[in-house]
Structure formats: structure tokens, C-alpha cells
Structure 1
Amino acid sequence: MTEFELPGSGREAAREAASQAADVAEELSNTRTLDVLARFGFGVTGLLHILVGAIALAIAFGGRGEADPAGAVELLADSALGPVLMWAGFIGCAGLSLWQASEATLRVRRRRRRERAEKAVSSGGLSIGYGSLALTFAGFALGRRSDSGESTRDITASLLAAPFGLPLLIGIGGLVIGIGAYFIVKALRRGFKEELHFGDSKRGKLLTVLGIVGHIAKGVAVGLVGLLIVIASIKHDPAESTGLDGSLKALQDHPYGTYVLTAVAAGLICYGIFAMIRARYGRM
């Protein structure tokens, strides 16, 4: 045994200490405060989806605007209560990001390995997404407004110029497409029913319709973003990677694109309504 190796009892003690530390962290993650913040975060994201859907709907009928989360946040920032809404949005999204992180790690420790892996991917990805939204709110609160499409193009250009950047970027695009597919599969399998107390009443049927339509629309929107990232990678052209706003507007360049954009916009509004209902009545 070298001086760096622990005897059997030492290793067991270390494992026991690590397990106890994880138990304490899990208890902290189950606090009512974090659940309340997560519920508030669901409400914030629901409002953003409704606004993005409304902007996309306006674009479909000849209007203007930025149909992405940054565009929705900008609308809130320009209102009379802008600074208050920005910090409130930051707190809600940051809390939701932490809650999803605990869902991906601490709260699934005692589940089967396959369930842990699935939760790590789904909730882990959502945690990153909500954390990014929190930073967007913070940036607007501090007066640093950004164009998400331009930011996406800049990141794409930086990765394409870096060693191994091309396969990494294709991998990121594939991951984003996978997240979009996850939302569509979740809709088709009615997986969202685990998040709300559904019943056979008219209200339960309405929630089911909102969940299906909303999750499919969100999946399509996210998948389009990932597809444009992959196309930009293959063509080695950062201008092809335009983010959510660019991907939705690009639909109008195709036959029946306006109808598809209208359907996706309506679906995003449905998802936003579903998220706001989940914020109040969902399981945590």
C-alpha cells in the first residue's frame, strides 16, 4: 500500500461521509423556498413563451419584432415596471435553474441507473437553458441588451475558427435537435401528465390539448434552431445560425411557411399557458 492509498475502513468512511453530505444537499434541495422559486420561474417562462408566440404570430401577419426570449424580455424591459420585472425574472429563472439541477442530480440518487441518466440529460439541459434565461434578464437589468441572433452567429463563428470546433458545433446542433425531439416525444407519450394532476373532466382534457400542442410546437421551434446550427457547421457559414428568431422567420421563405409559422406561434402560446398553469398546480 502506498502512502496515497486509503485502507478499506478509510475508503468506507470516505464513502459514508460523501453519502451523508449528499443527503444533506438533497434535503436542502427539497426546501419549500426552492420549490416556490421554481414555481415562480415556471410562471416567468410561461409568460415569455406567450410573448414569443404573440410576436411570431404578428410576424406571420406582416408585423415586426424579435421572436425569441431576448425579444420577449426586451418588451418587458421597456414597460413601466421594467427594472423590477428584470430582477424578478432573474430570480425566478435562476431558482428554476437550480431546481432543475437538483432534479438532474440530487433528487434522482435512489432511482434506477437508466432513470438517472434520462433525468440527467433532460433536467440538466433545462437547467442550462433556464440559467441562460436568468443571465438574459440580468443583462437587461444592468443595461446590457443583446441580440440573441447575433450572439448565436458570433459563438458559431468562434467555434468554427477553433481547432475541433466543427465537430463540436455539429454535436451541439445535434444535441439541440435532440432536445426538440424530446419535447415532441413527451407530447406524443403524454409525459407532461406527470407534472400536473389531470383528470377526465373538461379541464383535464383542455390541459391535455394544451400540453400536446404546446410541447410539439416547442419541440419544432427548438429543433429548427439545432438544424440551423448543423447547416451553418456543414456550410461553414456562421450567418446560417440565426437562433430562434431567424429560424422562425425563415419559415416564411418556404411554401405554406406562413401557415406553419402561425401554427408554431399558436403552439408556443399554448405551451406558455400550460407552463403558467403548471406553475400554480404542478407537482414539484
Structure 2
Amino acid sequence: MPSPPPKWVENFARVGLAAKGVVYCLVGILAFMAAFELGRNSSTQDAGKQGVFQFILEQPFGKWLLGIVAIGLVCYTIWRIIQAVQDTENKGNDAKAVAVRIRYLFSGLVYGALAYLAAKMVLGQRSGNGSGSDSRETLASELLQQPFGQWLVGILAVGTMAAGVYQIYYGISDKYKKKVQGAGLKHELEGKMVRMGKIGYIARGVVWLVIGFMFLKAAMSSNAQKAGGSSDAFRFLEDSSYGSFLLGAVAVGLVFYGIFMFMRAKYQPISTS
């Protein structure tokens, strides 16, 4: 039986959650600015993950700030992998528990890729494909070239949309409450955290649903260019009926999600055994 991870895992978790909060708050703010054209040359393209990193890089001491965010995302990655491998939350080994631990591992790998992108930008290297949406187009293109490629992209689309539905369900069902309950908070503060978390998870789920829908269109048309990332999802929302208000609402939800990450970083009980 593996020995429990040491106490420093808790510190990594809290730093990682805070870094995730920074990223989502900025994504939400930039998306809101794009929705109502509040800044010079504001666009949904700037609200993607790479756009956020570029925004940080352009601030005073930008390389230092982005470097700190990159380190925080590495911490988050390590924590998620430890959760998956060491089973620090005692999920067990049944089918449901294994699915949860695989989700932790997948989350760690995703944020590890973001940390790598941020580190490359700190070192002055630009992403070879230019943007997060391009990377998804590349993924769709690679899959479409394989045998049964349209089915593979379709499966990815359904999986992404299912993840979006689960995020919305997770928020509506209040399952996320356990992240902050038991921390000894005052009832009023805990209530604020719960409300922000609910709105945040629903907004995040909407974005995942739109990304999955774009992958589904790419699969059905066998056209990789129809796939896209979060910036394309924001543009899709903006182009719909009452698009500015819809995108603005989702953007506020993502800011709330980022704030909820800050609150989790401070108050969530982190298991290291």
C-alpha cells in the first residue's frame, strides 16, 4: 500500500487552485470586455487561454507574473496527479472511483499543458500553432485523417459535451459544496461561496458544451476548421441572439468560478493521507 503524500502536497494544492483562479478571472474579464467592446481592440480571441497569458505578459513585470502563474499551474498539475495515483481522497477502486481518479489525472494533464504553454511564452517562444483554437483544429485534423476519423472526432465531441453537462449538473446539484463545507466558515461567507460556485460551474459547463458542439460540427462535415477552443466558443455565443448579454453572463460566471477557486485555495480542506 503506498505511503500517504507529505504535507507539502497541501501547499501545492492551494497554490495551484489560486493560479487556476487567476486564469479564470482573467478569462472572464476579457470575455466580458469583448462582449461589450469595453477595451481597445477587445475581441473574443483575446479571451482564450493564450490570450490571457499574453495579457499577463504585457503588464509591468509581465514575465515574472506569468512565470508565477506557470509555477502555480505546475503545482496544480502535481496535486491532481497525486490525487489520481495516491487516492488521497480515499475514493477506492470501484468503477465510479476509478472514473473520478481518471478525471483528476486528465485535469492534471490539461493544466500541465497550460503550464507548458505559459512557460514557453515566458521564455519568448510562441505556440507553434498560434492559438488554443488552432491546437483543437490540429487535433480534429489529425483524428479525421485516421481510419473512422469522423467517428473519433464525434466521440471526442460527445465526451466534451458530456463533460459540459456534468459541470452544469455538478453546479445545480450542489455537489461542489463539499469543497468548502467543514472548513468552519461563517454561514454568510459559506453561502456566498456556494452561490459563486454554482454560477461558475454552470458557466464553465456552457463553454464546454459549445466547444463539444463545434467538434460535433467538425465531425459531421469532416472539416477540422469547424472545431475550436474557448475563444471560438465565446465568439459563437456572441454571434447568437442577444449574444453580448449571453456572453456577458457566461463571462461573469467564469469570474465567479475564478473567485470560487481563490476561496477553495484558502478554505478547502486538502487531504494528504
TM-score normalised by the chain length of structure 1: 0.85
Tell me which structure has the larger Cα radius of gyration.
1
Superposition deviation, residue 56 in structure 1? 0.9
Superposition deviation, residue 154 in structure 1? 2.1
Cα deviation, 1:48-90, whole Å, max 9, x if unaligned, reads 1111111111111125132121111111112222222232222
* Equivalent residue in structure 2 for 1:252, among 229, 238, 244: 238
Q: Distance in 1 between matches of 2:154 and 2:138?
A: 16
Superposition deviation, residue 165 in structure 1? 2.7
Q: Relative to 1, partners in 2 of residues 1:112 and 1:60: Cα closer, same or farther, differing over 3 Å? A: same
Q: Relative to 1, partners in 2 of residues 1:241 and 1:34: Cα closer, same or farther, differing over 3 Å? A: same
* Equivalent residue in structure 2 for 1:44, among 19, 35, 49: 19
Question: 1:1-284 residue pairs with structure 2 within 5 A?
Answer: 19=1, 23-24=2-3, 27=4, 30-63=5-38, 64-65=42-43, 66-107=46-87, 111=92, 113-146=94-127, 147-197=131-181, 201-284=187-270
Superposition deviation, residue 191 in structure 1? 1.4
Superposition deviation, residue 115 in structure 1? 4.0
Amino acid at match of 1:211: G
Name the Cα RMSD after superposition.
1.9
Q: How many matched pairs?
A: 259
Cα deviation, 1:186-205, whole Å, max 9, x if unaligned, reads 11121111111366722121
- Bigger mean CA offset, 156-165 vs 227-236: 156-165
Stretches of structure 1 that go unaligned for 5 or more consecutive residues are: 1-18
Q: Distance in 2 between matches of 1:181 and 1:109?
A: 25
Superposition deviation, residue 109 in structure 1? 6.2
Q: Answer yes or no: is the 8 Å Cα contact 1:41–1:95 preserved in 2.
A: yes
Q: Answer yes or no: is the 8 Å Cα contact 1:225–1:244 preserved in 2.
A: yes
Superposition deviation, residue 164 in structure 1? 3.3
Identical aligned pairs, as a percentage?
25
Q: Answer yes or no: is the 8 Å Cα contact 1:104–1:124 preserved in 2.
A: yes
Superposition deviation, residue 260 in structure 1? 1.2
Which secondary structure does the structure 2 equivalent of 1:105 belong to? helix
Cα deviation, 1:111-147, whole Å, max 9, x if unaligned, reads 2514422312431231122112111211212222231
Q: Distance in 2 between matches of 1:282 and 1:119?
A: 18
Superposition deviation, residue 277 in structure 1? 1.1
Amino acid at match of 1:83: K
